[in-house]
Every structure is written in structure tokens, then in C-alpha cells.
Structure 1
Amino acid sequence: MPILVCDTRVEQQLLAERAASGADRYDEVWEGIYMMAPMPNDEHQQIVSRLDAILQLTLDWSGLAHVRPGVNVSDRKEDWTSNYRVPDIAVFLRDGSAQNCDSFWYGGPDFAVEILSPGEVIENKIEFYAKVGVRELLIINRQPWVIELRRLESGMITAVSHSKIDGEVSHCQTIPFRFSLRTGSHRPAIRVEHESGQSWDV
């Protein structure tokens, strides 16, 4: 349920409480509107942690890219806090155009991952991601389980593949990986395959 807070005192108190508790980690600002997101559930965090570990090992540690498990991404250098988003995982290639400004990145990652939480509408972020130049976006939907790969083409981020359980494989162009869904024991497993032949089930 959306809540509009017009009392400055209440606003500052709420923001201070969230900052003190760490609950603001996934908050975003959309053109001056503060968006408060709840902490993701355990499954969400486990997927982020494991995907990040794979990408850190293969891309970051090898010097091919900067991999971040959640980072501020803005479309402006000045007053960046008035408009930014926080993808679950961001991969900035070494020769990419985005700039590391310490507290945030100016410009989008070459590859980003968004894991949808209940009620989250990814379309609300797509226009921003296209604007900042995200080249590929992997969307993991868990209700129902579907992996969607989108790609920046002619200034728009468009879908290039949908992977249902034991179905199509999503082939990335920006990073040397393929993603798909496989039948798992407790939930579908996200199959991550590196071009070297190494693979992991997340």
C-alpha cells in the first residue's frame, strides 16, 4: 500500500530510523520520490549471494569487471540522490562507459540482475535502465518461475529470451554466461553456465 508522507518531521524521523537499522539498503529515489523497499526474503538474498559469488570469482577477481551485489546507479553526477536505482547485482566491464563515483555509479552497468519480490513491477525500472545504458538485464521472477533476458537495442530494453523450467537457455552477449531454469528438489534451480564449461546450480 503506497503511503505519502507530507510532514517533514515525520519524513526525517522515518529516514533516520531506516538508516540506523540498515533497512534503507534497498531504498531508491525515483525523480525525487523516495521509494522504500522491504528487506528481501531469505530465498531472494540466497540467490543474490550465490550469483554474486560466481560472478565475483569469474569476472571480478580475474580483472574483467567490477561486480557489485547492490549498488546505487544514477543518471546524473550532480544531485545524484534525487534519482537512482539499486539493481540486485551489477556488472561493470573494465572497458565500460559507467563511472565509479564512490557513493554511486554514473551510468548503468553492462549487465544487471533484478530478482522480483512479490508485488514488484519491473516495468517501472525499465525506462530508467535504458536511459543509463544497461546493456543486458536478467530478470528472475519467482511467481511463477521464469528467467527473462532483456537487451538494449535502439535505445530500448527489449526481451530476447524467456526461460521456463527445463526450457530455453538465455545466452548473454555482455558476459560469457548462459542462464536457464532446471527442476530442483525444493524449488527450481538457476543453472549458470560459463563459456569454459563450468556450471553451477543456484
Structure 2
Amino acid sequence: MRAVMLETPESLLEERRRTGADLFDEVWEGVLHMVPPPSVGHQRFGKRLLLVLTPIADARGLESNYETGVFRPSPGPLDYRTPDLVFARADRYSDRGVEGRAELVVEIRSRNDESYEKLPFYASLEIPEALVIDPITRAVELFANRAGAMEAVAPDSAGGVRSSVLEVTFARIDGPKLRIAWPDGVAEI
């Protein structure tokens, strides 16, 4: 269900803060997007993906985080998105999240989500790559920032897409599962 409130009552915002319901909220150019919490399956898949990718990211000097805001560093209206996974250099992190450019963001799909609508924001922050994954079908799409726009990366002959940031290939395999292959190993989740 979508809802638009031209004025958001402070009591609603306070209730969301008090109960923790605002944990997944995002602000798009000053407009509040109240995002429902992810399903258990979504979180389980995200946790497994993070466990596989964290050592790979560490080896490349990147910090990995789950449900961390990526903020536009500007004096304008508050503007941030919260991808499921974020990989960024340590100097990009502040107490509130990633300030500006991350190296890779991962969006795990949920029903009626706004994963694809976030891509122009990520491109505007010069984030090199965005990965979009369906946690049920394990369909995976990689978008690369080319000339300020996120463009879909064509899969290779085996159906995989390769992240140049992590030097990892992602492919959907029978199961369905997501195969993650890197120079020193492989994992299937």
C-alpha cells in the first residue's frame, strides 16, 4: 500500500522513533519514505550474503555494513537511502552512515520496494556499482555507473555478472541459489 501525507504529524514521527518503526525509513530530497521491515527470509538471505562478502571486502580495504544509510553530503534537504548492504572505505563512514560515495551497494528485493528508483541517487553519488538481488528466485542484476547513470551489466555466457569492486562473480544457479565466486573460493547461498 502506498500513502501520501502532505504533512506528517509530529506525533506519528515520535511514535515511530519510540517504537523503532523508523529503523528502515529513508528521506529522499526531504521526503520521508516509511519502509516496512524486511521479511525473515529477506534478512536471512542478507545475513548470509554479508557473511560471505565481508572477508572479501576486508581484503580490499572496504568496510561492510547491513542497513546503513548512504547520505548526500550537501547543505540542501536531508537526502539518504538505506541499501541492505553497503561496502565503503572507512573514511566515508560517520556516526550516521556513509557520507557520499560508497563503493558498492546491495539492494535485496522486497515486494513493492523502490530498489530501482534508488539507482539514480546512487549514480549521482558516483557509487561505482549497485547489485540488485531477489532473495526468493536468486535472480541477480549488477548495475555499473557509466557517465553518471547506472547501467545494467550484461551477464557472461554462464549467466554471471562480475563486480569489479569486489572481484566477485554472482550467478543464479539451480536450487535456486546464488553462487558467489572469487579468486580464492566459491560459496552458494
Contact 1:147–1:162 (CA under 8 A) maintained in structure 2: no
Q: Distance in 2 between matches of 1:19 and 1:92?
A: 27
**Aligned letter for 2:85?**
I
Number of equivalent positions? 189
Q: Distance in 2 between matches of 1:79 and 1:104?
A: 18
- The aligned residue for residue 68 of structure 2 is 71
Q: Distance in 2 between matches of 1:15 and 1:167?
A: 48
Q: Distance in 1 between matches of 2:170 and 2:57?
A: 16
Q: TM-score, normalised on structure 1?
A: 0.83
Cα deviation for residue 7 of structure 1 reads 5.0
Cα deviation for residue 63 of structure 1 reads 6.7
Q: Which structure exhibits the higher relative contact order, with contacts defined as CA atoms closer than 8 Å and separated by 6 or more residues? A: 2
Cα deviation for residue 51 of structure 1 reads 1.0
Structure 2 gap ranges (5+): none
- The aligned residue for residue 31 of structure 1 is 29
- The aligned residue for residue 171 of structure 1 is 162
**Aligned letter for 2:62?**
A
Q: Matched residue of 1:24: which SS?
A: helix
Q: Which residues of 2 match residues 128-147 of structure 1 at below 5 A?
A: 128-142=121-135, 145-147=138-140
Q: Distance in 1 between matches of 2:12 and 2:143?
A: 36
Q: Matched residue of 2:101: which SS?
A: coil
CA change 1:183–1:38 in 2 (3 A) is same
- The aligned residue for residue 99 of structure 1 is 92
Q: Distance in 1 between matches of 2:99 and 2:74?
A: 6
Cα deviation for residue 24 of structure 1 reads 1.6
RMSD of aligned alpha carbons: 2.3
Percent identity (aligned): 27
Q: Which residues of 2 match residues 153-192 of structure 1 at below 5 A?
A: 153-162=146-155, 168-184=159-175, 188-192=176-180
Structure 1 gap ranges (5+): none
